[in-house]
Structure 1
Amino acid sequence: MKDSFFTLTFFPRKPRSEGNGEYPIYARITTEGQKTEFTIGRKVHPSNWDQRAQKSAGRSRRDLELNKYLEMVRSRFYEIHNRLLNEGRYINPQIMKNHYFGMVEKPKMLCDVFRETNVKRREEYERGDIGYATFSHWERCVTYLEEFIALTHGGDRDIAIKDVTAGFVQDFEHFLRVSKECANNTAVRYLRYLKNVIQYAIANKWISDDPFLGKRFKRTKADRGFLTEPELKSIMALDLKAFPRLECVRDTFVFCCFTGLAFIDVKTLKRSDISADANGNMWIRKNREKTEELSVIPLLDVPQTIMRKYSGHPVVLTTGVVLPVMSNQKVNAYLKEIADLAKISKHLTSHIARHYSNFYRLAVNELPRFTV
């Protein structure tokens, strides 16, 4: 309800116990039949009160100060009423009273509500309902939101959730695609996370208008490309010793090809995830980050060679990981350069390594041109 009219009435009320003859002054706010009453903390002698004028008719200094105070209270309520109207807020007597006494609940903030949601995501992860990768995506989304808000709102890292508009959503989408270089499906994922939080806020009446109304975000069908044997051999044959970063990315990519592990799984792979069986064969036993399902993978000659190559790397020594894997964004950027050097026209990404179907046969052949 957006009420454009209210009445404020002052009146003295006889106290229950006899005092010095003065009555406490009350204020009554009325809007469309609703009302609330409260004392304003001042008293007046009933013989001095002019109910028609709603002020003291006395001439003493105390009476004059009381009348000034009453005008100040009235002005304050007009300010509150006008502000609520301008903000399009729901107005009733209790809300106006709460604003007057400073008992207004602080507005819910977008990133704070997002973190409340992420607490539930963490519980789902700990129960095994979602994988770590999904949980980390939710965490990353709120980080991106903070960066975006700081960029567009003068350094502030949060905004009131009621201030999220369709324009805000559109600008955040642009930020994801341009500033964060998110592919379509990644951007859509984060926008759907934000929409989930907004729906939660709407259900709790923290926001009245849905900024996602009429907006649709479509995922694109992933092109599950794969490498041929000659293409992988060409990548493995590259001499990249003069370019250590490219060499490290190439080796990580080849490791993924021969194990079928996703990028996030290789990034978190530790030596404790690798063990030998009774015959001395090496195996990877690791829970997938995305699904939490246990994968048991043979560790063949080529990935073992790559492991030995980086066994003395500072990152490997200090963290216990198998390989010093860079960020996914950097890996994909370097893979483009590697594809050019290997004269491969396909769009090379960390994900394509998982879809190399002949890694076992290549490992058995040992690919002698691959040197480390």
Structure 2
Amino acid sequence: MAKKQTFSVLYWIRRGRNTDNASPLFCRVTITGQRYEIPLNCKIRPQSWNAAAQRSIGKTAADREANRIIEDTAQNIEDTLERIRQKGYVLNVENFRLMYQAQENPYSTIKTLFEYHLILEKKNLSASTIRQYGITCNHLLTFVRLKYHVSDYDITAIDKAFVNQFFAYLQGYQREDKKKLCTNNGALKHIIRLNKLMNIALQNEWVNRNPAASFRIRFNRVEKEYLTEKELQAIQNANIKPHLAIVRDLFMFAVYTGTAYIDIYNLTPANITIGIDRSLWLHYNRQKTETRCAVPLLEPAETIYHHYETYHENQLTRHIFPVPPNQVVNRYLKQIAAAAGIDKEITFHCGRHSRSLF
């Protein structure tokens, strides 16, 4: 039998040793036995408090101010309940606290904190980095939905246990399907992003601690995959469909130049110059490190470049290659590897690690 839902509000003073003969006033919201206390940030004399009337019966300015704060708080509670009803959220302490505190700080939840970070850093972040922060936010929101049955979560309630359990969740702990969402290193990157967001909240004094700061970051050593000369030759000779041939050209260009996916995507004919040796050189700034790179175009890379001249027509503002999305490229590379008879987990990044063979 389902437990009957109850809701009550109580205003009370915390009596104790008060040198100024005044006691702090609090509001307690109780939802089905769970309490949420709201400090009202004012004090009144205990003899002025009428518990039955839930008001101060004194005549001083402090008493009048206390009653005004009680009325404002009551209205805020009603407004919070209305927002919960409008959004169709479950009425529980977590959702109530979340919606109530959002009135005081518009960035008091996980989702709004990530939105604030995007506003703050959007001009300084690449599209791929912004996408990764979005993935971290989605993982966090899914985690709190499954664990706490809420659509968002109050950042002041995040503690060390939350961070540890989130990391375990990413590793597949207590998931019904036992599916591992991330590798150890992938999960740690999500913790690093959470740590950065919580530092922003700490700097703005939205939280009084950053529980993610003490999480132990320990990456597993990963051996980077590469292809042998024989395997690269097999890829070159593989009989594949035209749409896969474009990805093969991009991959081999990365092999001969050591260029990352995003940098190949950004290349235009303006990046190709003639060096003092009268041969073609590739000049570009690496997006990841912002370092300047100058790479001679070996004959195979130059052949690939010229193969796409009808695409870019030597227009300095056009991309050199028709580059598909990174996920598509990696999916096609798996098909190319299968056609070449290569039993390795090949990604576009393997091209950079295979460069030393030439």
Please give the range of the TM-score, normalised by the shorter of the 2 chains.
0.5 to 0.7
Post-superposition offset of 1:115: 4.2
Give me the TM-score of the superposition, normalised by structure 1.
0.60
Write out aligned runs for 1:70-149 (5 A): 80-82=27-29, 86-87=35-36, 92-93=41-42, 97=70, 99-100=73-74, 102=76, 105-106=104-105, 108-118=108-118, 121=121, 125=124, 135-136=126-127, 138-148=129-139
Which range is displaced more, 230-239 or 82-91? 82-91
| Per-residue CA distance 1:327-347 (angstroms, 9 max, x = gap) | 333322332232232222333
Take 2:242 and 2:189, find their aligned partners in 1: how far apart are those partners?
Answer: 34
Counterpart for residue 154 of structure 2: 160
Take 2:193 and 2:299, find their aligned partners in 1: how far apart are those partners?
Answer: 42
* 1:265 counterpart letter in structure 2: D
Write out aligned runs for 1:1-372 (5 A): 6-7=12-13, 33=18, 80-82=27-29, 86-87=35-36, 92-93=41-42, 97=70, 99-100=73-74, 102=76, 105-106=104-105, 108-118=108-118, 121=121, 125=124, 135-136=126-127, 138-148=129-139, 153=145, 159-164=153-158, 165-166=162-163, 167-168=165-166, 170-171=168-169, 183-202=183-202, 204-207=204-207, 212=212, 215-240=215-240, 243-277=241-275, 280-313=278-311, 320-358=318-356, 360=358
| Per-residue CA distance 1:229-281 (angstroms, 9 max, x = gap) | 222111111121xx233222221110100101112211222222112235542
Larger radius of gyration: 1
Contact 2:28 2:38 in 1 (8 A): no
Relative distance call for 1:317 and 1:115 in structure 2 (3 A) is farther
Take 2:245 and 2:256, find their aligned partners in 1: how far apart are those partners?
Answer: 17
Relative distance call for 1:159 and 1:354 in structure 2 (3 A) is same
Give me the TM-score of the superposition, normalised by structure 2.
0.62
Q: Which of structures 1 and 2 has the larger relative contact order (alpha carbons within 8 angstroms, sep 6+)?
A: 1
Query: Would you say how many aligned residue pairs link Structure 1 and Structure 2?
Result: 282
Take 1:141 and 1:88, find their aligned partners in 2: how far apart are those partners?
Answer: 36
User: Secondary structure of the equivalent of 2:201?
Assistant: helix
Take 1:323 and 1:233, find their aligned partners in 2: how far apart are those partners?
Answer: 22
Contact 2:273 2:282 in 1 (8 A): yes
Which range is displaced more, 179-188 or 215-224? 179-188
Take 1:170 and 1:163, find their aligned partners in 2: how far apart are those partners?
Answer: 18
Contact 1:226 1:355 in 2 (8 A): yes
Relative distance call for 1:306 and 1:157 in structure 2 (3 A) is farther
Contact 2:273 2:281 in 1 (8 A): yes
* 1:140 counterpart letter in structure 2: R
Which range is displaced more, 320-329 or 289-298? 320-329
Contact 2:268 2:320 in 1 (8 A): yes
Post-superposition offset of 1:355: 1.9
Contact 1:311 1:317 in 2 (8 A): no
Relative distance call for 1:341 and 1:138 in structure 2 (3 A) is closer
Contact 2:330 2:346 in 1 (8 A): yes
| Per-residue CA distance 1:189-212 (angstroms, 9 max, x = gap) | 232111221244345553467664
Stretches of structure 2 that go unaligned for 5 or more consecutive residues are 1-9, 44-65, 77-100
Q: CA RMSD in A?
A: 4.4
Contact 1:30 1:93 in 2 (8 A): no
Take 2:130 and 2:30, find their aligned partners in 1: how far apart are those partners?
Answer: 36
Contact 1:287 1:293 in 2 (8 A): yes
Take 1:88 and 1:209, find their aligned partners in 2: how far apart are those partners?
Answer: 20
Relative distance call for 1:162 and 1:83 in structure 2 (3 A) is farther
Counterpart for residue 83 of structure 2: none
Post-superposition offset of 1:353: 1.1
User: Secondary structure of the equivalent of 1:87?
Assistant: strand
Relative distance call for 1:232 and 1:265 in structure 2 (3 A) is same
Q: Percent identity, aligned pairs only?
A: 25
Take 1:254 and 1:106, find their aligned partners in 2: how far apart are those partners?
Answer: 52
Which range is displaced more, 163-172 or 324-333? 163-172
Contact 1:269 1:322 in 2 (8 A): yes
Contact 1:271 1:320 in 2 (8 A): yes
User: Secondary structure of the equivalent of 1:82?
Assistant: strand
